[in-house]
Amino acid sequence: MRNKTDVLQWKFSFERGARPGHQLAAHIEKLILSGELCAGTSLPSQKELARLNNINANTVRNVYDRLFSKGLLYAVSGSGTYVSANLNVPGGSFPQSGFSDEVPLQLPDNAALKPVSPLLEQDFLSVGLDTLNPVYYPDAVLNRYRRKHRDRYSRYSQLDHLRDLHSDAYAEMARVYFNQNYQMQLNPGTLTIVYGRDKCLDDVLSSLLFPGATFVNTCRHDPLLAEVLRRRGICPFYLETSSPDFLARLEALATTTSLRAIYLRPQCNYPDGAALDAGLCAQILELAIRFGFYIIEEDKYHEFWWGNRKPAHLAKLMHHGHVVYLAPLSQLSVYMRNTRIVCAVSPLIERLNQLKPFQHEFRDLIEELAVMDMMQNGDLRNAVRTARKSLEDNLYQLVYLLDSRFGDNIKIAPVNAGFALWLEFKDHRLLASALEDIVSSGQQIPFSNPGQPSVQTRFMRLGFGTFSFREADSASIAMQKRVINGV
Report in angstroms the alpha-carbon separations of 258 from 182, 249, 262, 413.
33, 14, 12, 36
Kindly tell me if the per-residue pLDDT of 4 is higher than 50: no
339: exposed, middle or buried (Cβ count in 10 Å: 0-12, 13-18, 19+): buried
pLDDT tier at 93, thresholds 50, 70, 90? low
| pLDDT, position 5 | 45
Which amino acid is it at 195? Y
pTM strictly above 0.85: no
pLDDT in tens, 408-441: 888 888 777 888 888 888 888 888 888 888 888 8
| pLDDT, position 198 | 92
| pLDDT, position 377 | 94
Which amino acid is it at 365? L
Kindly tell me if the per-residue pLDDT of 18 is higher than 60: yes
Residue 285: closest CA among 302, 273, 297: 297
Between residues 200 and 99, the one the model is more confident about: 200
In this prediction, residues 168-188 reach a mean pLDDT of: 90
Segments of the chain assigned to CATH 3.40.640.10? 156-377
How far apart CA 326 and CA 339 sit, in angstroms, is 11
Radius of gyration of the chain, Cα coordinates, nearest whole angstrom: 28
* Cis ω for the linkage preceding 271 (within 30 of 0): yes
Segments of the chain assigned to CATH 3.90.1150.10? 125-131+390-485
What DSSP letter does each residue of 441-455 carry, written as one string? Answer: TTPPP-BSSTTGGG-
pLDDT in tens, 201-256: 999 999 988 888 899 998 877 888 888 988 888 888 998 888 889 999 999 999 99
- Which residues are CB-contacts of 380 (< 8 A; sequence separation ≥ 6)? 138, 177, 330, 332, 371, 374
Which H or E run contains 366?
Answer: helix 365-377
| pLDDT, position 455 | 61
In this prediction, residues 294-307 reach a mean pLDDT of: 88
In this prediction, residues 266-279 reach a mean pLDDT of: 67
pLDDT tier at 449, thresholds 50, 70, 90? low
Average pLDDT, the chain: 83
Residue 391: closest CA among 177, 128, 175, 144: 128
Reduce the DSSP state of residue 150 to 3 states and report it: helix
| CATH value of 156-377 in 3.30.470.10, 3.20.20.100, 3.40.640.10, 3.40.50.1980 | 3.40.640.10
| pLDDT, position 88 | 44
If you ran DSSP here, which 8-state letter would residue 128 be given? S
In this prediction, residues 115-130 reach a mean pLDDT of: 65
Highest mean pLDDT (candidates 38-52, 303-317, 333-347, 349-363): 333-347
pLDDT in tens, 333-373: 999 999 999 999 999 898 888 877 666 777 888 999 999 99
Between residues 284 and 36, the one the model is more confident about: 284
Residue ranges of alpha helices (H) inside 111-266 are: 139-153, 158-166, 169-182, 197-208, 223-231, 246-256
Segments of the chain assigned to CATH 1.10.10.10? 7-92
The architecture CATH gives domain 7-92: Orthogonal Bundle (1.10)
Domain 125-131+390-485: top CATH class = alpha beta
Residue 420: closest CA among 269, 242, 277: 269
C-beta of residue 419 within 8 angstroms of C-beta of residue 304: yes
How far apart CA 6 and CA 24 sit, in angstroms, is 17
